Structure 1
Amino acid sequence: MASTPLSRRQSALGSDSRRASIDPSRLVPMDKVSALSGTGDFNVVFVGAGNIMFGSDEGPWNHSFRFEHKLGPRLKVVALIDPAVDRAAAVLQKKCETFVKSAYENTRVYKTLDDYVKNYNRKEAPRAFVVGSPPMFRGTTQPGRDIELQILHHFPDTALFIEKPVATGPSSEIDEAFKVAKAIEEKGTITSVGYMLRYLKAVQMMKQVIEENNLTVMATIARYACAYEAIAKPDWWNKAKSAGPIVEQGTHFCDLSRYFGGEVDISTVSAHSLEWDENAGHLSKMSIDETAIPPENRIPRVTAATWKYASGAVGSFTHLVALQGHDYSCELEVYADGYQLKLVNPYVQPVLYIRRPGSDHEESHRFPDDDPFFSEISVWIDNIEDIEEDPETSHILCSFEDACKSYQLTWAIREASERSRAERLKIQAEAGKQ
């Protein structure tokens, strides 16, 4: 099958998706949207049967739920690919016991993409792949960890939705992620990466203020404090398994920082960390046994980074493993001449505070019904369905290449903090010899 040529919209978007924005009024809550009109089934392949695809009690993610609301009875999940076939069968059984049975009653389960390809039925050709498998198994050019390239090879006309981060391999493999991005761009594949915070109404209102007032961003200041007591997954606490909290968790705020600040001069990234073996790094309510993790793989408690943007603006990010309870504390501030835009609590109940020129007053905006998970899926499907016909169709806000740049920034921060720790330990050791 020949690959689809680049659409007009995708050509306009290009590799710099930070130019794209969406009128906040077009981001409509899921319960206010009718199922997408159209004819025929919309066939989808889900890769991964875990929480991101089917939901859990730990967070609001659940892609299948958003697909059901966006596509209604047109949705047909033709295949579910996951090595854990029992888990996959169990989630399908639950779906078939509900009113969305028609989307899943004929879904076939496969252990691997190769198994699906071997048993492929052309009458059920997929319109889209949704890749929610763990990031350590994708985002590279290596066999077994190259699912994007394999999909491009076998299904060149099929759209891609890829979860973030694009990968969690060693930093030496970052160039491979960019090669995947180049292959996607050359195929002209309609692709979106799941940095859903870009689709928040609050974030798009911030973009609107910047664009309407022709502002130049001077600085971005991001802070992410997680509630570590609720994190019971041992792999999360192991840098060898998760790549560490900056790469695995802080990725959203590094991405949002880039979304407003632009390209980062990676050579300027500097960082310091508070580590597990320092007095201030002791945590009293951990839900895992950290002694089972080799000392060199234990995660930092605090990482604080700064950098320069290509524009000359300055960025900073502080990630903390510090809070107990359940709720996180997250904020992003963006400064421009006369303006302060402060986004608070973006994951749960976003509030945007705006201070404008000529006033000390902070106006506040709340967005109680916003669902960025639905908005990112909705925009992506609109691009698949109506790519040429409707010039008002919203832009996809994060391309694979753009996501690679956010991934590169997170690794640069981690490595900068590890270098500064090594230098500090070296100085201490030399001082001890004197």
Structure 2
Amino acid sequence: MSSDQQNNEMASHTHAGRRQSERRPSDRRGSDRRFSDASRRPSIDPSRLIPMDKATHLGGHQDFNVVFVGAGNIMFGSEEGPWNHSFRLEHKLGPRLKVVALIDPAIDRAIMVLQKKCETFVRSAYENTRVFRTLEDFHKNMHPKERPKAVIIGSPPMFRGTTQPGRDIEMQLMRFFPGVALFIEKPVTTGPASEIDEAFAVAKAIDDSNTICSVGYMLRYLKAVQMIKRIIEENNLNVMSTIARYACAYEAISKPDWWDKSKSAGPVVEQGTHFCDLSRYFGGEVDIASVTAHSLEWHENAGQLSKQTIDESQIAPENRIPRVTAATWKYDSGAVGSFMHVVALQGHNYSCELEIYTDGYQFKLVDPYVQPILYIRRPGSDLDEQHRFPDDDPFFSEVSNLIDVIEDIEEEPESSQILCSYEDAVKTYELTWAIRLASEKSRKVHEAGEA
């Protein structure tokens, strides 16, 4: 299928999917339909986002059963990054946590990570965990006392986010365990653009079943992000522009699949998704038809890289990733957004920034993944305030808020909000695909002009 055909098909599916995925108003589950302006999404008082070491275990004595789908780095951590959902759940739930099942076809790997857990002080959470290759196997062999209260999904995105057998983990969960809360890693899927309508269908099924569901766009839970939200809301400001830039350190990326668009869906869809999501979080809904983009490709002179740690010659030329993708679009509000993804830096540290402009204000978020710094220029001043957040942990905040919603803790309802619903995440996925397709279309036009 050509890029033009994919674009047209994506547009037709998307509009249908959006009509089908209207959400009912919700107080705490992440829906933004209750806001007349789509940019007024759910937010949390930043002072209530406390670091993990300052949080107390959730009270109570009843076991909190959890199922993990995926035994990889997202779930159990690695030296490559700060992700580790099991670690955050252990600190949130304390002795209440009981991981009743670990689902992963790589049985040996699953057993190994469980053995390591059982050698630590959190043994009680894992000593009775059973390993299964598939979710269906667990369902068939589940004891009633093992019924989960939440399922944490950290399996590769190509195995979820659709209605197709084998790639429909969300639909399986709602069928096997109706009413059980879901946490799903981002992006929601990495199928072709023609399958976006299926992701919207999954979103509708989740909403129709009234399932509590949170998607792991953890940057929404940054104190700095919520500080920006608070200022915008308190001053009744309208976002005029968002400018996002994501420059990765490619020398440290040694996974061949990441360099192959046919497997990873490309760096904008797979990696830049966080910044596209933050852009939407502040700017509101994107007019998908307005998206334009250009790319610097691997075969162009400026696209030559000298420090790759993989053999790119083993990847088909048509599947090699672009070195730069630059996109612009209009929001439904009239505001303008832009995003640039760059594969250029060496070493290990990335360079990522997001700027937001409103009347009189400039917000600049720098290095959100590691040591967030927020610069704020306010009306009446030419100077930038600087705010640092050295102990912030958005991974813990997103897990903590999800558990509070599941437990229906009402003492401080405004402090417990799910900030990204499944439908919202699908719209971010839709934007990243629109950027990729627009860049491929402009590339073909450019190449045709040179012919």
With the length of structure 1 as denominator, give the TM-score of the two structures: 0.96
- 2:124 equivalent among 102, 109, 116: 102
1:276 match: 298
1:287-342 CA-partner distances (Å, limit 9, x unpaired): 00000000000000000000000000000000000000000000000000110000
- Cα distance in structure 1, aligned partners of 2:444 and 2:108: 45
Cα distance, 1:414 vs structure 2: 0.1
Instruction: Name the Cα RMSD after superposition.
Output: 1.5
Whether 1:61 aligns to 2:54 is no
Is residue 190–residue 269 contact of structure 2 (8 Å, CA) maintained in 1?
yes
Q: Secondary structure at the match of 1:267?
A: helix
Of the three residues 255, 259, 276, the one matched with 2:277 is 255
Tell me: CA distance 1:303–1:122, structure 2 relative to 1, closer, same or farther (3 Å).
Answer: same
> What's the secondary structure of 1:417's corresponding residue?
helix
Report the equivalent of 2:433. 411
User: Is 1:168 aligned to residue 190 of structure 2?
Assistant: yes
| 1:126 aligned residue (148, 166, 173) | 148
Residue 8 of structure 2 is matched in structure 1 by none
Partner in structure 1 of residue 347 of structure 2: 325
Q: Aligned equivalents of 1:153 and 1:45: distance in 2?
A: 15
Contact 2:29 2:419 in 1 (8 A): no
Residue of structure 1 in register with 2:382 after alignment = 360
Q: Is 2:366 the partner of 1:344?
A: yes
Contact 2:39–2:285 (Cα < 8 Å) also in 1: no
Inter-CA distance 210–31: structure 2 relative to 1 (3 Å threshold): same
Work out whether 1:212 is the aligned partner of 2:241: no
Partner of 2:10: none
TM-score by length of 2: 0.92
Residue pair 1:18, 1:397 contacting (<8 A) in 2 also? no
Helix, strand or coil at the partner of 1:94 = helix
For the structure 1 residues 11 and 235, does the alpha-carbon distance in structure 2 shift closer, same or farther, using more than 3 Å as the test?
Answer: closer
Superposition pairs of residues 183-194 of structure 1, within 5 angstroms: 183-194=205-216
Q: Deviation at 1:119?
A: 0.5
Aligned to 2:111: 89
SS at match of 2:334: coil
Please say if residues 373 and 388 of structure 2, whose CA atoms lie closer than 8 Å, have aligned partners that are also in contact: yes
Within the alignment, does 1:23 sit opposite 2:45 as a pair? yes
| Counterpart position of 2:68 | 46
| Number of the residue aligned with 2:395 | 373
Q: For 1:118, what is the secondary structure of its paired residue?
A: helix
CA distance in 1, matches of 2:29, 2:369: 28
C-alpha contact (below 8 Å) 1:13/1:395 kept by paired residues:
no
**2:186 and 2:216 in contact (8 A); partners too:** yes
Task: Quote the Cα distance in structure 2 between the aligned partners of 1:42 and 1:232.
Answer: 38
Q: Aligned partners of 1:391, 1:174: CA distance in 2, in Å?
A: 33
Structure 1 position 10, deviation (Å): 3.8
Aligned partner (choices 77, 86, 95) of residue 99 of structure 2: 77
State the secondary structure of the residue aligned to 1:264. coil
Q: Which runs of 4+ in 1 moved over 6 A?
A: none
Letter in structure 2 aligned against 1:278: E
- In the TM superposition, what is the alpha-carbon distance from 1:11 to its structure 2 partner? 8.9
Matched residues in 1 for 2:298 and 2:203: separation?
Answer: 36
* The 10-residue stretch of structure 1 (19-28 or 387-396) with the greater mean CA deviation from structure 2: 387-396
Q: Deviations over 1:245-270 (max 9, x none)?
A: 00000000000000000000000000
Q: What CA distance in whole angstroms lies between the structure 2 residues aligned with 1:120 and 1:331?
A: 46
Q: What does residue 432 of structure 1 align with?
A: none
Give the Cα–Cα distance (whole angstroms) in 2 for the partners of residues 60 and 10 of structure 1: 25
Residues 1:298 and 2:346 are matched in the alignment: no
- Paired with 1:233 and 1:414, the residues of 2 have a C-alpha distance of 21
Tell whether 2:172 aligns with 1:142: no
User: What is the one-letter code of the residue matched to 1:415?
Assistant: L
Identity over the aligned pairs, expressed in percent? 76
2:270 maps to a residue whose letter is E
Q: Which of 318, 332, 335 matches 1:310? A: 332
* 1:231 matched residue in structure 2: 253
For residue 334 of structure 2, what is the amino acid of its counterpart? Answer: G
**Deviates further, 8-17 or 406-415:** 8-17
- Tell me how far 1:388 sits from its aligned partner: 5.7
Q: Deviations over 1:329-383 (max 9, x none)?
A: 0000000011000000000000000000111000000000000000000000000
Aligned partner of residue 290 in structure 2, secondary structure: strand
Give the equivalent residue in structure 2 for 1:289: 311
